[in-house]
Amino acid sequence: MTKLIRFGVSMEEGLLSKFDRLLKAEGYASRSEAIRDLVRRTIVEEEWVTGETVSGSIMLVYNHHHRELLEKIMDIQHDFHEVIISTQHVHMDHDNCLEIIVVKGMAEVIKNVYNHLTALKGVKYTSLSRATTGKKI
């Protein structure tokens, strides 16, 4: 088991009150667990900046009637097949599709996939959820 180390944190009273309100609203049992999550989140953000192997998901919303769009989305996914783990396609209604693409690989490559998909004409919305492989946190 990993050794736990206690340390003191000094903080302005007002800032601590806001932090306590926030962690209570989010259901944290203790400040320690909330701080651990903040640290983990910072480490994951750093993984994306330093270009390490990361994981995440890309969400796309698009109109499937748009000419050649499906083919272009498929071409991009094949071009980057080495970082695409899986895709899930949901038919939202008669016109709109939601696609969730799970990715794992070098951060720069994943950002590149995301940028290519976002730039396609006919794609209404994209988002990139930045996660981690979990090895460093």
Residue (23 or 60) nearer to Ni ion, CB: 60
Within the chain, what is the greatest distance between any pair of CA atoms? Answer: 60
- Stretch in the footprint of Ni ion (CB under 5 A) among 65-73, 75-83, 90-98, 117-125: 90-98
| 97 lies in the site for Ni ion, by CB under 5 A | yes
- Stretch in the footprint of Ni ion (CB under 5 A) among 23-31, 51-59, 85-93, 128-136: 85-93
* First and final C-alpha spacing in the chain: 14
Paired tokens of 10: 């000094």
Residue (96 or 112) nearer to Ni ion, CB: 96
| 18 lies in the site for Ni ion, by CB under 5 A | no
Q: Which candidate, 51, 17, 64, 66, places its Cα nearest to that of 130?
A: 51
Task: Look up residue 13 and give its DSSP letter.
Answer: H
- CB burial class (10 A; 0-12, 13-18, 19+) of residue 119? exposed
Distance CA 18, CA 66 (A): 47
| 60 lies in the site for Ni ion, by CB under 5 A | no
| 73 lies in the site for Ni ion, by CB under 5 A | no
Residue (36 or 121) nearer to Ni ion, CB: 121
Task: Look up residue 66 and give its DSSP letter.
Answer: S
| 76 lies in the site for Ni ion, by CB under 5 A | no
Residue (89 or 121) nearer to Ni ion, CB: 89
Q: Applying CB under 5 A, which of residues 65, 91, 124, 136 lies at the interface with Ni ion?
A: 91
Site residues (vs Ni ion, CB under 5 A): 91, 97
